[in-house]
Amino acid sequence: MKPGFVPGLRAEVEATVDAGMQAAFDGRVIHPLYSTWSLVHHLEHAARRVLEPYLEPHEEGVGYAVEVRHLAPTPVGARVRAVAVLEAVEGNRVVCRVEAYNDLEKIAEGRQVQVVLDRAAFRRRIAEVQQRLGTAAAGTPGQGRTSREAPGV
């Protein structure tokens, strides 16, 4: 890690809730509100912004754990601000306190943990897993199938 990576570092991500961020399952909108998975995406993005400037060229940060309480609804069209604050560095684990707000109130709180790994070793691990699973090259989007739709199930 580069110097200066100390507790208290902070980063934010701002977004306006759009139709693609609504809580939807199996192609139908369940609630016309900011989905928990969109919320988690923005919180993880903020945490990545805390870490990324301090990674050395040979290092990579990967998501390890997320614990979030979604406290209040936010409708489509509202603004959201996701905040991550570096709380601790525990060995190769980076722990951020995360919170999100709309223009009225706090809408979420929790923690996000990233693990810092050797970039070359991590890429070898990815290639190994891809080979074992018989999947496409890195960066290829997944098919998004559920276990019900998976072949042979």
How do residues 84-120 score in pLDDT, each as one tens digit?
Answer: 999 999 999 999 999 999 999 999 999 999 999 999 9
Q: What tens digit of pLDDT does each residue of 22-60 get? A: 999 998 999 999 999 999 999 999 999 999 999 999 999
- Count of structural domains, the chain: 1
Has residue 17 been placed in a domain?
A: yes
pLDDT of residue 139: 53
Catalytic annotation present for 44: yes
pTM: 0.84
Exactly one of 16, 36, 58, 67 is catalytic; name it. Answer: 36
Has residue 143 been placed in a domain?
A: no
Has residue 39 been placed in a domain?
A: yes
Residue 73 above 90 pLDDT? Answer: yes
Q: Please report, for the domain that includes residue 129, its CATH number.
A: 3.10.129.10
Has residue 141 been placed in a domain?
A: no
Residue 77: domain span: 10-133
Residue 78 above 70 pLDDT? Answer: yes
Has residue 2 been placed in a domain?
A: no
pLDDT of residue 135: 82
pLDDT category of residue 70 using cuts at 50, 70 and 90: very high
Residue 152 above 90 pLDDT? Answer: no
Exactly one of 42, 44, 74, 87 is catalytic; name it. Answer: 44
Has residue 105 been placed in a domain?
A: yes
Exactly one of 41, 59, 70, 109 is catalytic; name it. Answer: 70
CA distance 116 to 91: 9
Residue 149 above 70 pLDDT? Answer: no
